[in-house]
Amino acid sequence: MKYVDEYRDGRLAGAIAERIAAEAARGRDYYFMEFCGGHTHAISRYGLEDLLPANIRMIHGPGCPVCVLPIGRIDHAIRLAERPEITLCTYGDLMRVPGPHGTSLLKAKAAGADIRMVYSTLDALRIAEAEPSREVVFFAIGFETTTPPTALAIRIADKKRLKNFSIFCNHVITPAAIASILDHPDVRTLGAIRIDGFIGPAHVSTVIGTQPYKFFAEEYEKPVVVAGFEPLDVMQAILMLVRQVNDGRHEVENEYIRAVTEEGNLKAQSEVAEVFELREAFEWRGLGIVPYSALRLREAFAQYDAERRFPVVTEPVRDNPACECGAILRGVKRPTECRLFGTACTPETPIGSCMVSAEGACAAHWTYGRFREDTAASVGQRAAS
């Protein structure tokens, strides 16, 4: 497949792997966090760990929108969907995320709630137009990549004067999350996690550009390499990070020049700014309350805000005390360090959100990489030999 296979070329990967191995200094370890779940997935899906030398450790970051959504928001969505007048439209990923007391959208649907899986915001708009007697609520979720389509849907709904369309807004902001990780005592003072550099987001950066990462590179002295989601992109970004660390540099570099510019997509940014404003605070699973880290609709579009339109009573919900999703999302723990991993918590019966989405660190490791945990011979060892 043109323009895709080129970025999955095993021979080229081998050549980059040799360079990484040659340039990574012996006697030191390199800890790189890939922020995005898309990168986490690519690393597991293509078995990149088998191609990297042992002194390069990848730490999975919180860039998985489904994973960072706190249980309270799932509970809120379920309660919205249980109202008889509401049709809740959601991406399929969210259906299986566990809510409080063993609930989920999937179970609410089976119990009679009108919940429909859609592929895009525009599908939800179409349902609202086709069924004017239903209150159609779109479960809006995601980082900067999915915010512009939601903004567009709001503008279309406004233009068409759709009275029965609204969104349950959970859009969050990448730079705020990165700052939260770097400011966390685990990183700043306790030294519980070491991060030598970041692989910067792919799709998010097509919208926001590379500019917003400059602050982290300078203030926290951490190199950032923005990279695409193909496996060769990830390998190349790791090589670029190794070189920056070796040179003592901390710059923002762009590996993904075929899609990302310094200033990003200005049209999309202005669409978003017109429709959304910052929330003062938003709860993230794993990171807690992060100031100015999420969006809500501006006052002018309040009628499209399901939270304002359909008040529901929710109680604060705590994570399962044994679930380590929080620590895993901050990079403090690896999936296998959670005692629920692969025992009580599997993709079939997830307890934490990291086991639900294909981009979640636990799901990716369980689905693609768990053979590495055992002593028996693995294909990876054979492939590497």
Partner 1 sequence: MNVTQKISKPYRRKLDLANGRVDLSHGSGGRAMAQLIADIFHNALDNDWLRQGNDQAAFDAPSGRMVMSTDGYVVSPLFFPGGDIGSLAVHGTINDIAMAGARPLHLSASFIIEEGFALADLDRIAQSMGKASREAGVPVVTGDTKVVERGKADGVFITTAGVGVVPAGIELSGDRARPGDTVILSGTLGDHGIAVMSKRQNLEFETQILSDSAALHGLVADIVATAGPWLRAMRDPTRGGLAATLNELAYQSGVGFRIEEDAIPVKPEVAAACELLGLDPLYVANEGKLIAIVAPEGGAAALAAMKRHPLGCDAAIIGEAVADERRFVQMVTAFGGGRIVDWLSGEQLPRIC
51 makes contact with partner 1 (CB under 8 A): yes
Q: In a 3-state reduction of DSSP, which class is residue 218?
A: helix
Stretch that binds partner 1, among 24-32, 65-73, 74-82, 375-383 (CB under 8 A): 375-383
Nearest distance in Å: CB 273, partner 1:
29
149 phi-psi bin (left φ>0, alpha ψ -120 to 50, beta other):
alpha
Nearest distance in Å: CB 291, partner 1:
33
Nearest distance in Å: CB 69, partner 1:
18
Nearest distance in Å: CB 40, partner 1:
13
d(CA 43, CA 54): 15
d(CA 15, CA 22): 11
Residue whose C-alpha is closest to residue 349's, from 368, 334, 331, 362: 362
Nearest distance in Å: CB 45, partner 1:
6
291 makes contact with partner 1 (CB under 8 A): no
Contact pattern for partner 1 over residues 26 through 45, marking x by CB under 8 A:
------------------xx
Helix and strand numbers, DSSP H then E, in the chain: 17, 13
Q: In a 3-state reduction of DSSP, which class is residue 110?
A: helix
Stretch that binds partner 1, among 1-9, 61-69, 191-199, 249-257 (CB under 8 A): 1-9
Q: 175 or 231: whose CB is closer to partner 1?
A: 231
* Position 314, amino acid: T
Please identify which residue in the block is written with the tokens 């399962």: 320
Q: 14 or 291: whose CB is closer to partner 1?
A: 14
Among 46, 139, 256, 282, binds partner 1 (CB under 8 A): 46
378 makes contact with partner 1 (CB under 8 A): yes
130 makes contact with partner 1 (CB under 8 A): no
Nearest distance in Å: CB 370, partner 1:
6
d(CA 140, CA 166): 10
334 makes contact with partner 1 (CB under 8 A): no
Contact between 220 and 198 under an 8 Å Cβ cutoff? The reply is: no
**Tokens for 51?**
């191609």
Stretch that binds partner 1, among 60-68, 182-190, 319-327, 344-352 (CB under 8 A): 344-352
Stretch that binds partner 1, among 155-163, 177-185, 253-261, 342-350 (CB under 8 A): 342-350
**Residues 60-119 contacting partner 1, CB under 8 A:** 92, 95-96, 119
Stretch that binds partner 1, among 3-11, 124-132, 183-191, 238-246 (CB under 8 A): 3-11
How many CB atoms neighbour CB 321 within 10 A?
Answer: 6
Residue whose C-alpha is closest to residue 69's, from 286, 349, 279: 286
124 phi-psi bin (left φ>0, alpha ψ -120 to 50, beta other):
alpha
d(CA 281, CA 269): 21
* Position 51, amino acid: L
Contacts to partner 1 by CB under 8 A: 1, 4, 8, 10, 13-14, 44-51, 92, 95-96, 119, 231, 346-348, 366-371, 374, 376, 378-383
